[in-house]
Each structure stands twice: as structure tokens, then as C-alpha cells.
A = this chain, B = another copy of it.
Amino acid sequence: VLVTTIDEAITRLRAHGVTVTPARRAVVAAIFDTGEHHLTALEVVHRVERTRRRPDRATVYRTLDLLADAGVLRPVHLGTGPAIYHRTDHTHAHLVCTSCGAVVEIPAEAVDELTRLLERDARFTIEPDQIVISGLCAMCHDV
């Protein structure tokens, strides 16, 4: 069940017994109104429409938690810095360059293959969206 629009996300929240308030709706809108599927909590704060009073950081963090519980977002720590939250409608793994910090996404098909490989070897249920691999991106490697 993919969640790809604001309305679907709101519906999903309700299905999880979460009351939908203006602040929460604003957070959801900020996330789905952008092409980015990688946002930090603070980026969400700054993106909330200026039409309403900007929600407090605490509220945004709490809402992101609710969205994660509802399966709309997945929080991922890319090593250093703040967690990024990414939408679950776009499965991918993350390659992080230890030199320049660039984040490259691995497409779903490769992630599938990878997941199969891992689950074959380890008694572990992989969360495909939470694969983080560090290394050097092509540009930094060539320097």
C-alpha cells in the first residue's frame, strides 16, 4: 500500500488513530509538496507554508514520528548530521560519500537483489529503505 499524496498520508494517519490537526496537515503538505524525498526535520520546519504560523521544531519532530509509525516516512541516519526522513513510496538504498557528503541513491531493483543476498546469509529481516553505505563517490575517488 503506497502512500504518494498528501491525502493518502492523511488517511493513513487517521487509520492509525492519529487526529489530524492543522499543524500536522501542514507538515504532511510540506513533505509531499516538494520533489525531494529526503528531508531533515529542520528542512521540514522551514518548508512549512508561510500562510500559517510555523510549527515549533518539537511539533515537527513529533509529527515525523507519527508519520514514521504510520509507515509514511522512514527515518534514516546517514552517518553524521541530522536524520533524514524519506517517503516510503520510493524505495532505495543510500550511498554516502565520506569525502563530500553526497548521497547517491541505489534504485529499487538493485536493492532487491541486495536484500535477497543478505537475507540468504543472515537470519534478519532487512528494511530495504534503511541501507546506508559509505564510500567515495566517483568524483572524490578520481581526485
Contacts and interface: CB of A to CB of B under 8 A. Distances in A.
Contact of A126 (B125, B126, B135, B138): B135
B114 A118 contact: yes
A4 interface: no
B130 A130 contact: no
Interface in A51-95: 76-77, 79-80, 95
A121 to B, nearest CB: 5
Interface string A89-122: 0000001011000001011001001100110011
A141 interface: yes
A127 B136 contact: yes
B114 A138 contact: no
A95 to B, nearest CB: 5
Contacts of A131: 131-134
Nearest to A74: B134
Contact of A127 (B104, B117, B135): B135
Contacts of A122: 95, 104, 106, 110
Contacts of A135: 124-127, 130
A6 interface: no
A136 B122 CA distance: 11
12 contacts: A79-B130, A95-B124, A107-B121, A114-B114, A123-B137, A123-B138, A125-B138, A125-B141, A126-B133, A127-B133, A131-B133, A131-B134
